[in-house]
Structure 1
């Protein structure tokens, strides 16, 4: 059923989904809608036939009593018996009884005669006309409600699929997100989460609404056409199908020719555009005449190619109109010749012929939309492939079976021959060895910022080394639980966003074990309490898109408060790269002093005061430790460190 879509889309929306849940209701309502359409067309047929025959019935004398018994009330039959010996009769103002009598030999004739006999409103022309119009309006209103309901259910089915995919992407982001060392995946994931899933949602809506609705409608209309005249229906459908096929082939042929012609025209246009960049060369060497001739040649080629495309489009449209006109002429001739036949078994009334044409015409729109479905869902397969590839990624970091709890850091952290390579084969660490003493302040810097960040990301196991070990007091972090490791090793990023929620929820992360007093104490420790109280509702102030916004410095202090609340043994702080507000800069030094009590701090610094405060500075260069020492020592002993310091703190920097 969905063969035109990729296997990835089958994973997203399997074909069996069409036969359960909301799509089943779509099919059921579509069936009711299609049956009502058939009834509406039949009502239209009765109305047109009433207007044509004006309720007149021609009866032979031997048919008069049968007519009265079949289509008149009981009291009218005795009157008919007295006239049975009369010659041929014409009865006027018979309403839809005239149509019922003329169609008495058709499969629906008995049912129609029964309705006309028992429903007096159909016995006269005016009352029958009013009844049919009212019935048509009511059926139309019910159909419009069903169409709206089908659209809503199709939309609900598509929203359910989109919601399920968004849950899967969110779950996958939580699994893969920390391993995004370069912070580049956000744009890709956000595009998947919004644009690509919207494409899937639109495709599912089209599939459910068109397949669930149009196939049922086409079947019902086809059966209706066969009941009118099965042989004539087949005779009409043959040229219509041939026309549809030929028109489709012509559309494909012209589309491919148009694409090729425009590609060639764009080549000429590129040559023209390149000439616009050669002004200095042309004027400097006196090449005006040569350049003018070249320009005119390419411009004329471009003009001819564009004209050929427009001419080809005109001829293509003319050919399509010719095919459609020829097909319609054949259909009208087939139906008209059957209407013009002498009275007999093969003859059909004008209203029956019109009924057949309208029924066949009603198939055009659903057939056309079904035919266009693969093109309308053209981008969907690519979107599904991208989403499925992302959801299928295996997380870089996993918890080992039988992992044990990690105790708070007491002695040291040791990197033992650690290597880390990006997916593009770029080496960031190679046989990296480093010891970070517990209870000290260490600053980690590198000419390539990714190298220092890699070291920081390895500590809480946001990423996994390809070789080597990271040891906390001799305990390999690969064999401890992620929860215990990340409870004792917290990373505060320079660009960590705040969540949409209150300040209290942002600091406590909505964990119930933390009280307002706990949150307040953590905020005071990093000097965030003062600016929080200045917010409109203090700790209950809502942050986010529809709430209050914070400066980068305030957001950074909020992140420090979030980390301080959890009281980790090892705290990694990545300082903001942008210039901080004066209020934050004046308070950070004291905040760091408080955070450093009985705790190991590792900085990815951007402030010179942080470097001077560090007990040791580790300079990483080309994947290895280049130098270790205090700021004063490295300034004198390391040329690379002096270069790094100059690049970050010289007075001529653009961000000063």
Structure 2
């Protein structure tokens, strides 16, 4: 019979419980429908494997009885004993074979079920709006894809078959025990409430310690990760001893809670063994008396003792499996919560496509708020002609990035409309809309792969010559060729094997390669040196010719030549015009510009 996971002797972690156990379980069961035939095979083979293992002790007892009688009568006949042993061997082989089939088939069912769930969840993420990701830590979403799916997979593959086997074993063992001796069965059954009481008392105390252990473990992991990722800062400020002291404190707490949790939970198996041994003692005494009175055979005692050992095992497994299933349903519930999230507004059936974009952009009475009861932008009206460069300036939190998010339809407007070439973007296909834009953000994004692949990400049909030319235009070709593998240099997950400025150059090359109709630049040169910044700005001027460009600027000196400057404050465009016109007006823009100029003058005088 397959053994259970998470035996009490190894302790149990705190069980995460589902909010709606029955509803989540029913929903999860729907994913088994395509595998109904295989599940029937699993159930059948599990039953047969378990039944064969239950019958085996009874046959062994009969062989013992025949051997005992033959020895006592001095008329030992090996043929019947050999026959029983052969039958017993066949049963063991069949039990193992059915157990193998059951595990093999269930592994396929489990992996295909989780595969379908994971694929559905991945497709769901592609349809979720940006606000879903803004409102949740990346770690939480990753946890659902890693921990929760692994939890579901392991339970489907192991615990379900163990659950069936444990139930059948428990019922079958009781039946076999009753056929041998109802009196001894009653004696063994009387130890059951005591076992459950001891288990509950010890487990209740160990749960508190396990929670403390998990809390300390989380704090330790967080501290180690923080210290590892920021080790340069720690060394620069000389906080090594303080970091080590904090680690020692958390590590000591983890040791205390871990030791107590393992010690308390470790008491369960010795106590269970003690209670079990009491049962064996009573069974042996009562069984011996019954043999003396010829009420049962001596082989029956042997079989009964084996059944007694099997009697407590499924109970322990069922208790452990119940906790695992609770945790698994909680994991499934978290996955279903993701699948039930509100998706992006569906595209209309007659969604349009702009084949040859010009780049005219207009905002008509646009209203927007991250919450419907708290509008951030009200009655915004902007007209941008094709080929114009529009700079968006303002203090932190003014709504500059929000404006770009609305333009690319990462968020839906609450009122009004945004048009490109006179067409409402709400009536365009999202893929087509976003293909019109090229973005270079202050926070660079590069993926694990070669430099060539990262640049070519901007255009699927790009040739090697196109990629190299884009890199040259972004002034990245020179540093790329100095790397050991040139364009085939592999970037790690965080691209930490490049400097921040080099990473920015690659994202600019990617935008140049895409050759979009509309550019969005968010302080794209903020992470490079002054000389490189001048080169990139010249390249950008060439790139922006004939294209509509939106430039989010923090340093106002970089956007003097913009065709239109939008000055935002608290979600509203408070001023708009050219650089010189806004300075002459002496309003909010003039204050921002003069404050930066004054700060720069002070810096220069100090330097």
**Structure 2 CA distance, aligned partners of 1:25 and 1:550?**
55
> Which of 156, 160, 166 is matched with 1:204 structurally?
156
Contact 2:370 2:376 in 1 (8 A): yes
Cα deviation for residue 464 of structure 1 reads 0.7
1:113-152 maps to which residues of 2 (within 5 A)? Answer: 115=83
Contact 1:429 1:623 in 2 (8 A): yes
Q: Which runs of 5+ in 1 are unaligned?
A: 59-89, 100-111, 117-127, 264-308
> Which of 519, 526, 529 is matched with 2:467 structurally?
519
> Which of 464, 469, 478 is matched with 1:530 structurally?
478
Q: Deviation per CA, 1:94-121: give whole Å up to 9, x if none.
A: 3363x5xxxxxxxxxxxx8xx37xxxxx
Q: Deviation per CA, 1:275-297: give whole Å up to 9, x if none.
A: xxxxxxxxxxxxxxxxxxxxxxx
Q: Deviation per CA, 1:476-531: give whole Å up to 9, x if none.
A: 11112223222223333333522333333333339653322233333333233333
State the partner residue of 2:252. none
Please state whether the residue corresponding to 2:528 is helix, strand or coil. Answer: coil
Contact 2:280 2:308 in 1 (8 A): no
Q: Deviation per CA, 1:511-561: give whole Å up to 9, x if none.
A: 653322233333333233333333443333333349984333333333333
Cα deviation for residue 438 of structure 1 reads 2.2
> Which of 6, 11, 23 is matched with 1:7 structurally?
23
State the partner residue of 1:436. 384
CA gap of 1:315–1:207, structure 2 versus 1, over 3 A, is closer
**Structure 2 CA distance, aligned partners of 1:247 and 1:140?**
30
What is the aligned residue count?
534
State the partner residue of 2:15. none
**Structure 1 CA distance, aligned partners of 2:532 and 2:98?**
61
**Structure 2 CA distance, aligned partners of 1:619 and 1:646?**
15
Q: Deviation per CA, 1:388-438: give whole Å up to 9, x if none.
A: 122112223431221222254436311112122214855322222222232
1:339-358 maps to which residues of 2 (within 5 A)? Answer: 339-342=291-294, 347-358=295-306
Structure 1 stretch displaced more, 590-599 or 326-335: 326-335
Please state whether the residue corresponding to 1:579 is helix, strand or coil. Answer: coil
CA gap of 1:213–1:643, structure 2 versus 1, over 3 A, is farther
> Which of 627, 631, 642 is matched with 2:591 structurally?
642
The answer as to 2:340 corresponding to 1:392 is yes
**Structure 1 CA distance, aligned partners of 2:209 and 2:440?**
57
**Structure 2 CA distance, aligned partners of 1:314 and 1:441?**
71
The higher-RCO structure (CA 8 Å, 6+ apart) is 2
CA gap of 1:357–1:171, structure 2 versus 1, over 3 A, is same
The answer as to 2:126 corresponding to 1:174 is yes
**Structure 2 CA distance, aligned partners of 1:411 and 1:351?**
92
Cα deviation for residue 222 of structure 1 reads 5.0
> Radius of gyration: which is bigger?
1
State the partner residue of 1:287. none
Cα deviation for residue 141 of structure 1 reads 8.4
**Structure 1 CA distance, aligned partners of 2:394 and 2:544?**
23
CA RMSD of aligned residues (A): 4.4
**Structure 2 CA distance, aligned partners of 1:430 and 1:12?**
45
Please state whether the residue corresponding to 2:376 is helix, strand or coil. Answer: strand
Contact 1:162 1:197 in 2 (8 A): yes
**Structure 2 CA distance, aligned partners of 1:649 and 1:164?**
60
Contact 1:553 1:581 in 2 (8 A): yes
State the partner residue of 2:416. 468
Cα deviation for residue 207 of structure 1 reads 3.1
**Structure 2 CA distance, aligned partners of 1:168 and 1:583?**
49
The answer as to 2:78 corresponding to 1:95 is yes
> Which of 492, 499, 505 is matched with 1:544 structurally?
492
Q: Deviation per CA, 1:192-249: give whole Å up to 9, x if none.
A: 22233233333334433322443444455455x26xx6262x5444454454345435
Cα deviation for residue 588 of structure 1 reads 1.9
Contact 1:17 1:23 in 2 (8 A): no
**Structure 1 CA distance, aligned partners of 2:451 and 2:307?**
65
CA gap of 1:420–1:237, structure 2 versus 1, over 3 A, is farther
TM-score computed with the length of structure 1 as normaliser: 0.68
CA gap of 1:608–1:352, structure 2 versus 1, over 3 A, is same
Q: Deviation per CA, 1:295-316: give whole Å up to 9, x if none.
A: xxxxxxxxxxxxxx9xx99999
CA gap of 1:430–1:251, structure 2 versus 1, over 3 A, is farther
State the partner residue of 1:30. 46
> Which of 175, 179, 186 is matched with 2:138 structurally?
186
State the partner residue of 1:214. 166
Please state whether the residue corresponding to 1:435 is helix, strand or coil. Answer: strand
CA gap of 1:329–1:32, structure 2 versus 1, over 3 A, is same
Q: Deviation per CA, 1:628-651: give whole Å up to 9, x if none.
A: 234455456234663588589946
